[in-house]
């Protein structure tokens, strides 16, 4: 097969707020090859990602992503890896290239899975599709009482693991943060996993993170996530050496394999969290999962948007029986839910699995997404170089 086209669909809530919620807009990617199609999603600024695909070249290693994708052969997984190397080389100095390529790469795996009538996890070499324990990913309440109420609601909804983060956590005193953590534990009860996400709030201030450890240990928190910026490996290692029962987690900010593996090798994280829609797609995510297995680190997906993105993030570790916990977007905005007509739902045991259907197993519904679609035109010297694709007449597309 030859890659014929790459189309981008930019969708957004009518109003995008300043809350730390990445589900407020989306960039869907459709790839076609010899009459077949696949879908992916970029977890990045939609307009800048589109621009990275079509921008005029600046020089030999600052080319648009399109230059490495359109017309390339796609006959198997090796071709996806080969095209990834082309993008990395030809768009070396185009910093948004990795995010743009992530959505395209996911779509290529989806397309290939449909052509071969296999789920993506099988194409990655797995023979088993193991159940994962989803944790409800939630924003911290504005007050400890709100955090308590959210924790109780998550338990009522059947979640045995819940993550609270962002909001006011880390912006005030350690005592104020301790109140939130204690409230979360009270709301969850003693038998649920509690996870805390600091959202990179302390930069590389190790002392600020250490000041929170006692409260986290008292609440039996499983991890403290993203205490620092993702490339602050020395700070991560220093905190990891001081933490006893609480693991340090991070990796969602990694947009290359080495950024993630360096957190394992030099940052001492116990949990490596990878977003397939940021790091370069499913293939790089699988490479990090393999590295985590070799080094005794637990691999965790990062997903806070749609169920298309959730499926993509589950594929790289679907076959790892001992890597059980997974992030689950429990409060996505309506635009994220509208992306697909089917969702990955917890089973009777409260667990989820990667879909068994070919490709990613998610049905993208552009008709349902119509109220949120944004029209984009990009012109250079008054000449149009990009315009949003038309929505096909079909009601949905099985991907």
Assigned token pair, 154 = 């998550």
pLDDT score of 159 = 94
Q: Do 247 and 271 touch, CB atoms closer than 8 A?
A: yes
The tokens for 38 are 């696949």
Q: Is 1 exposed, middle or buried (0-12, 13-18, 19+ CB in 10 A)?
A: middle
The answer to whether 210 and 227 have CB atoms below 8 angstroms apart is no
Q: Which stretch of 25-34, 96-105, 165-174 has the lowest confidence by average pLDDT?
A: 165-174
Please report which residue ranges of the chain form alpha helices under DSSP H: 46-54, 66-69, 77-90, 97-116, 120-123, 144-156, 174-188, 206-218, 233-242, 257-265, 276-279, 282-294, 307-314, 334-338, 366-369
Strand order in the sheet with 25-33: 36-42, 25-33, 3-12, 373-374
Residue 396 pLDDT level (bands cut at 50, 70, 90): very low
316-328 per-position pLDDT tens digit = 999 999 999 999 9
- Tens digit of each residue's pLDDT (9 = 90 or more) over 178-233: 999 999 999 999 999 999 999 999 999 999 999 999 999 999 999 999 999 999 99
Mean pLDDT of 77-93: 98
- For the chain, give the mean pLDDT: 95
Q: Which CATH architecture has domain 123-338?
A: Alpha-Beta Barrel (3.20)
Lowest average pLDDT, out of 7-21, 282-296, 384-398, goes to: 384-398
Average pLDDT over residues 319-343: 95
Please say if the pLDDT value at position 153 is more than 50.
yes
Q: Are 320 and 130 in contact (CB under 8 A)?
A: yes
Query: Each residue of 121-131: pLDDT tens digit?
Result: 999 999 999 99
Instruction: Average the pLDDT over 13-31 and give the result.
Output: 93
3-118+362-393 falls under which CATH superfamily? Enolase-like, N-terminal domain (3.30.390.10)
What does the alpha-carbon distance between residue 278 and residue 289 come to, in Å, rounded to a whole number? 15
The reply to whether 123-338 shares the fold of 3-118+362-393 is: no
Cα dist from 88 to 5, 65, 252, whole Å: 20, 9, 20
Give start and end residues of each alpha helix (H) in 62-136.
66-69, 77-90, 97-116, 120-123
What's residue 393's pLDDT? 66
148, 183 contact by CB (below 8 A):
yes
> CA gyration radius for the chain?
21
Model confidence band, residue 10 (pLDDT cutoffs 50, 70, 90): very high
What does the domain layout of the chain look like in residue ranges? 3-118+362-393, 123-338
Q: Is the pLDDT of residue 398 over 70?
A: no
pLDDT of 392 above 50 = yes
Write down the pTM of the prediction: 0.95
pLDDT band per the 50, 70, 90 thresholds, residue 284: very high
Phi and psi for 349 in degrees, rounded to 5?
A: -90, 5
Task: Quote the pLDDT of residue 331.
Answer: 86
CA distances from 235 to 14, 134, 239, 288 (A): 39, 29, 6, 21
The Cα–Cα gap between 195 and 70 comes to 42
Q: Are 283 and 84 in contact (CB under 8 A)?
A: yes
Residue 394 pLDDT exceeds 70: no
Residue 19: per-residue pLDDT: 86
Strand order in the sheet with 271-274: 298-301, 271-274, 247-250, 221-225, 193-197, 161-165, 133-139, 325-329
Determine the average pLDDT of the residues in 147-153: 96
**Bridge partners (DSSP) listed for residue 9:** 28
* Rounded mean pLDDT, 302-319: 96
């Amino acid at each position: 097969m030859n890659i014929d086209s790459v189309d981008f669909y930019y969708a957004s809530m009518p109003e995008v707020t300043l809350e730390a919620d990445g589900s407020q807009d989306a960039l869907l990617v459709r790839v076609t090859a010899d009459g077949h199609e696949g879908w992916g999603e970029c977890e990045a600024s939609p307009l800048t990602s589109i621009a990275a695909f079509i921008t005029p070249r600046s020089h030999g290693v600052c080319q648009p992503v399109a230059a490495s994708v359109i017309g390339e052969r796609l006959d198997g997984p090796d071709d996806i890896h080969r095209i990834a190397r082309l993008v990395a080389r030809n768009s070396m100095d185009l910093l948004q290239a990795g995010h743009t390529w992530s959505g395209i790469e996911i779509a290529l795996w989806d397309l290939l899975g449909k052509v071969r009538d296999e789920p993506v996890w099988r194409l990655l070499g797995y023979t088993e599709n193991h159940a994962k324990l989803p944790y409800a990913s939630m924003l911290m309440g504005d007050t400890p009482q709100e955090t308590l109420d959210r924790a109780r609601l998550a338990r009522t909804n059947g979640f045995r693991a819940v993550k609270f983060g962002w909001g006011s956590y880390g912006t005030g005193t350690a005592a104020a943060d301790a109140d939130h953590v204690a409230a979360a534990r009270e709301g969850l009860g003693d038998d649920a996993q509690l996870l805390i996400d600091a959202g990179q709030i302390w930069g590389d201030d190790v002392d600020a993170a250490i000041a929170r450890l006692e409260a986290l240990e008292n609440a039996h928190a499983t991890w403290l996530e993203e205490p620092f910026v993702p490339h602050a490996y020395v700070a991560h290692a220093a905190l990891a050496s001081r933490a006893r029962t609480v693991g340090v987690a991070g990796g969602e900010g990694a947009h290359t394999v080495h950024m993630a593996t360096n957190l394992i090798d030099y940052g001492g994280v116990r949990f490596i969290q990878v977003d397939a829609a940021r790091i370069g797609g499913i293939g790089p995510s699988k490479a990090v999962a393999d590295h985590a297995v070799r080094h005794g680190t637990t691999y965790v997906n990062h997903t806070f948007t749609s169920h298309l993105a959730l499926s993509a993030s589950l594929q790289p570790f679907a076959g790892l029986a001992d890597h059980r916990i997974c992030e689950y977007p429990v409060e996505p905005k309506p635009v994220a839910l509208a992306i697909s007509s089917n969702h990955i739902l917890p089973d009777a045991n409260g667990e989820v699995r990667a879909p068994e259907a070919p490709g990613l197993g998610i049905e993208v519904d552009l008709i349902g997404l119509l109220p949120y679609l944004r029209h984009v035109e990009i012109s250079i010297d008054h000449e149009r170089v990009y315009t949003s694709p038309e929505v096909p007449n079909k009601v949905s597309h099985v991907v």
